[in-house]
Amino acid sequence: MNEFLEFKVDLDTFIDELNKKLTHNTESLEKLLTLQEKNYANFVKPIGMMDEYLEQFFTPLSHLNAVNNTKETQEVYAQSLPIITEYSTRISQDINIYKAYKEIYKNEKESLNYEQNRVLELNIQHFELSGAHLDEKTKERLQEINIRKSELSNNFSQNLLDATNEYEYIIENEKDVEGLPASDIEGAKFADEGLTKYKFTLQMPSYIAYMTYGKNATIREALYKAYVTRSPQNAAIIDELLALKNEMSRLLGFESYSAYSLASKMAPNEQSVLNFLNELIHNSKAQAHEELKEVQALSKTDLKSFDSAYYSELLKKEKYAIDEEEYRPYFEQQSVVDGMFEFLHKLFGIRFEKTDEKLWDTKALSYNLYLNERLVSRLYTDLEARKGKRGGAWMHNWQAHTLDENAKEQLASAFIVCNFPASTPKNPSLLRHDDVVTLFHEMGHAIHHMLSSVNENEVSGVNGVEWDAVEFPSQFLENFAYEPKVLKLFAMHHKTGEIIPDTMIEKLVKSKNFLSASGMLRQLEFSLFDFKLHTKVYKADEVQELLNSIREETALIQTPAYNKFQNGFAHIFAGGYAAGYYSYKWAEVLSADLFFSVVDEGIFDSKSAQKYLDIILKCGGAKSMQELFYELQGREPDSNSLLRLNGII
């Protein structure tokens, strides 16, 4: 029997196949809608599986386009996107499907299991959050708002981009670039009428390089001022966006945009988010002050905003820096992967076994995953950098564990993609410790998907998990990459076989926690500003006043009045984080809380780890994470665990 799909993409026929499938789906849906007696089994289930099969068909193309990008994959991918979008928009606005779901939920709620009820609840919510159920006039207005919102967001990022690109600072005195890394100096260098000059810009690598290593405070101030005063015209965009988001939320039946945002998240209400952030601010402050003192001690003058990165770097170099090259020999790629598998075996009793499947690249591998010696899923790994592969690291789910429309079990599968140094027959791939952390992180996502025992694909694995909870399993697992007991399973010098010494592990932890309280306060400042900003309608100067009032609690160094940080806060005004920036810290608390339960129980014999497998991993998105976490720990998450994880006492 073939449990898993074969990985293949036929670029020549893909678009034809896609169109055929969508036409078939559309016809099937029409037929389903004519059913006299609609119920979960004959209506909801087939629609859910239709989505699953479409995803299964589409994922290999998007995967291939990301890992083996060619002109051909780009073309087919770009061609398919509008086709898919048109189809899914049409389905998501089909009021008849919504009405049928509502009816089925009303009739069968008592007899369906919680997984099935959750499928219905999330689908109904999805329709209602887009306003598909409202009257025509309201729907029209909602659509106008949506169009205008995306224009404004687009203008916001364009203005920011233009301002970033416009500016440059030319340094003529070589002394002013002393202390910068050679590669940054090389990047900045240019010849002008026989003279060597250096150009710095507001683009990330350039700006950060000078702010971190540039000795000349006057130049740092000029760069800083240019950076924090970018795109002043975005202030008007912010006002309009806030007003539109509020109007939209009200049309959809919410008091405010923050309430609308929370409707689909794990956090139960606005007050819980505010309390959560304020408590962390309160508890991080004292240590952040201590950290500032340590940084301040290196400077003769009072620290200014444009000094902190520079003096922090001096302090880091002096006390906390680690030399990656010293660590690499301990992290040979294959032994890290094998060690991580062994760790997962000890933690959860799961076992990975390599298959001999041929995949899209010789470096790509697949593994069967066994739980209690029963095959449960397949993992695909593609860990090395190469030409034509998108940068970064990610997990992507492919098949979901489910029962199909004939009640036949389908197993789950997922991809982990990284960009580690490539190995050659002569040279092994040696990782930085950061890479090890990344691998654990993505593995945390992958097992969340692969160990699901849910029978409804729409809420199985990572499907249906709330946005502010998705990073819980990944962050939980990455924390173990700093644990001596875990590192010693695999961190052996690839030449001498020597196990990584404790002193080196301690240095890793210290380096991770360097200025952690100050970093925490900064993130909390962003989170609180974002969240409060969406609780009512702020206009014009009120936006700045709100930010100032928050800074009274969070900023240790007086922020100059010219600083208009908000005009560059693209995460919330041009990205998807509005009234959701708090999610980063929210998920971190869940992960830290459970992490310490496991560590305090000795890691490998931990009952909490077993419970985590049974309650969180197996259950996927079939219950709210709020509910699952309570089942797991018997209490609310404890934010002190996050402080402990960051070395904040």
- Which lies closer to Zn ion via its Cβ, residue 231 or residue 474? 474
CA distance 411 to 649: 44
- Which lies closer to Zn ion via its Cβ, residue 412 or residue 443? 443
CA distance 233 to 567: 8
Residue nearest to Zn ion (CB): 474
- Minimum CB separation from Zn ion for residue 583, in Å? 11
DSSP conformational letter for 43: I
- Minimum CB separation from Zn ion for residue 474, in Å? 4
- Minimum CB separation from Zn ion for residue 462, in Å? 10
Residue 120, φ and ψ in degrees, nearest 5:
-65, -45
- Walk across the sheet containing 350-354 and list its strands: 350-354, 365-371, 374-384, 412-420, 394-397
CA distances from 547 to 239, 396, 531, 543 (A): 14, 37, 11, 6
Give the residue from 212, 236, 237, 238 showing the smallest Cα distance to 224. 212
- Minimum CB separation from Zn ion for residue 471, in Å? 5
- Minimum CB separation from Zn ion for residue 441, in Å? 6
- Which lies closer to Zn ion via its Cβ, residue 348 or residue 472? 472
DSSP string computed for 529-564? HHHHHTTS---THHHHHHHHHHHHHH-SSPPPTT--
Contacts of 14 by beta carbon, 8 Å cutoff, 6+ apart? 61, 76, 80
Q: H helices within 35-70, ranges in order? A: 45-67
CA distance 148 to 129: 18
Residues 471-490 that bind Zn ion (CB under 5 A): 474
- Which lies closer to Zn ion via its Cβ, residue 457 or residue 474? 474
- Minimum CB separation from Zn ion for residue 396, in Å? 11
- Which lies closer to Zn ion via its Cβ, residue 444 or residue 568? 444
- Which lies closer to Zn ion via its Cβ, residue 230 or residue 265? 265
CA distance 119 to 115: 6
- Which lies closer to Zn ion via its Cβ, residue 43 or residue 629? 629
CA distance 18 to 57: 8
Packing angle, helices 217-228 and 204-213, rounded to 10: 140
CA distance 351 to 372: 8
- Which lies closer to Zn ion via its Cβ, residue 234 or residue 474? 474
The site map against Zn ion for 426-465 (x = CB under 5 A) is: ----------------------------------------
DSSP conformational letter for 492: B
Burial of 396: CB neighbours in 10 Å, binned 0-12, 13-18, 19+: buried
CA distances from 637 to 267, 631, 646 (A): 11, 11, 16
- Which lies closer to Zn ion via its Cβ, residue 381 or residue 474? 474
- Which lies closer to Zn ion via its Cβ, residue 249 or residue 583? 583
Q: Single out the catalytic residue among 442, 456, 525, 588.
A: 442
Q: Which stretch binds Zn ion (CB under 5 A): 361-369, 466-474, 505-513, 527-535?
A: 466-474
- Minimum CB separation from Zn ion for residue 475, in Å? 8
Q: Which stretch binds Zn ion (CB under 5 A): 338-346, 470-478, 524-532, 597-605?
A: 470-478
Give the residue from 584, 572, 571, 638 showing the smallest Cα distance to 467. 584
Q: Report CA 521 to chain centroid distance, whole Å.
A: 20
The site map against Zn ion for 583-612 (x = CB under 5 A) is: ------------------------------
CA distance 230 to 160: 7
- Minimum CB separation from Zn ion for residue 585, in Å? 14
Give the residue from 457, 410, 407 showing the smallest Cα distance to 622. 457
- Minimum CB separation from Zn ion for residue 477, in Å? 10
Longest dimension (CA), the chain: 84
- Minimum CB separation from Zn ion for residue 466, in Å? 14
Sign of the four-CA dihedral 592, 596, 597, 599 = positive
Residue 407, φ and ψ in degrees, nearest 5:
65, 25
DSSP string computed for 561-582? TT--GGGG-HHHHTSS-TTTTT
- Minimum CB separation from Zn ion for residue 476, in Å? 11
Burial of 576: CB neighbours in 10 Å, binned 0-12, 13-18, 19+: exposed
Residues 226-285 that bind Zn ion (CB under 5 A): none
The encoded tokens of residue 28 equal: 């099937």
- Which lies closer to Zn ion via its Cβ, residue 474 or residue 583? 474
- Which lies closer to Zn ion via its Cβ, residue 438 or residue 527? 438
Q: Count interface residues toward Zn ion (CB under 5 A).
A: 1
DSSP conformational letter for 460: S
Q: Is-catalytic flag, 456?
A: no
Task: For residue 380, give the 3-state DSSP assignment.
Answer: strand
Q: Which stretch binds Zn ion (CB under 5 A): 350-358, 467-475, 532-540, 615-623?
A: 467-475
The encoded tokens of residue 245 equal: 């988001």
- Minimum CB separation from Zn ion for residue 111, in Å? 37
Catalytic residue positions, numbered: 442
Binding site for Zn ion (CB under 5 A): 474
